[in-house]
Amino acid sequence: MNEQLPLFQNRPEKPAQKLRHVQIGARIVAYALSVGGRRRLTMRIDERGLHIGSPHRVTIAEIETFIRSNGAWVTGKLDEYAGSGARRQLTMRDGQRLPLLGGEAEVRVIAGSNRVRWEGDVLVLAAKPDADLDALARRALQRRALEVFNQRVDFYALQLGRKVPPLGLSSARTRWGSCSATGIRLNWRLIHLPLHLIDYVVAHELGHLVEMNHSPRFWAVVESLYPNCRAARKELKQRTPELPII
């Protein structure tokens, strides 16, 4: 089971794609197209615009019919991003600041052999001249996330009276976490958020150890672990568009 993240997209950086254009009503809308690796047409919108994913053997005419059939949502969401002034894309450099556990961390870049370390809330990237600083930062954030998440899972599993399940990190595009018979997975980008929201997601996923559904019984379990779960769930959805993309 999982807790959904509408509007949240996370992915490794790719070279800029050549844009195509489609007419939606009186507007011409640019879109980036990725082909392969999926069974159906998908779309997402972030601060960089409209992205379409397509299976092989789907024609451009079919793709653009799909876009126009969702035209009101597409134009509305593009206008929403344009009006928000959102700048979620962070490029790592010396002095960059990034959200960490509800506060801020500062990035320091020094010469080194592509190693990372934390000095309190300072992230030190000891990098070669040709290093991918964004990839190094993701590695460090994931390391910090795993440390924090393990502590919170241990705490809430004890409250629940259950054995601590195996924990893994996720980079899923549409969920904060998931739970299965083999353990739980938490999206590493939760590390950007305050601890009380991480706790909510942990409590949510551990609740699935008791109820593998979203029934009233499930929510009663979550609420027993985290009494303010409904307010936290609402806050989580509100803060999703603010999360950085690294």
Which band of pLDDT confidence, cut at 50, 70 and 90, is reported for residue 1? Answer: low
Long-range contacts of 143-150 (CB under 8 A, 24+ apart): 143/116, 143/118, 144/100, 144/118, 144/191, 145/169, 145/186, 145/188, 145/189, 145/190, 145/191, 146/188, 148/101, 148/191, 148/195, 148/198, 149/186, 149/190, 149/198, 149/202
pLDDT of residue 47: 66
On whether the pTM is more than 0.75, the answer is no
pLDDT of residue 9: 39
All domains in the chain, ordered by first residue:
2-84 (no CATH), 133-242 (3.30.2010.10)
Q: Which strands, in side-by-side order, build the sheet including 183-187?
A: 2-4, 175-180, 183-187, 167-170
Number of neighbouring beta carbons within 10 Å of residue 12: 10
Proportion of the chain above pLDDT 70, given as a percent: 89
- Single-letter amino acid, residue 162: R
pLDDT of residue 231: 93
Round the average pLDDT of the chain to a whole number and report it: 86
- H or E element that contains 99: strand 97-100
Q: Which residue has the higher pLDDT, 20 or 143?
A: 143
Q: pLDDT digit string (tens) for 124-147?
A: 999 988 889 999 999 999 999 999
pLDDT of residue 11: 40
* Highest averaged pLDDT of the listed ranges 41-45, 90-94, 151-155: 151-155
Q: pLDDT digit string (tens) for 68-107?
A: 999 999 998 888 776 654 556 788 889 899 999 999 999 9
* DSSP string of 108-147, one letter each residue: EEEESSSEEEEETTEEEEEE-TT--HHHHHHHHHHHHHHH
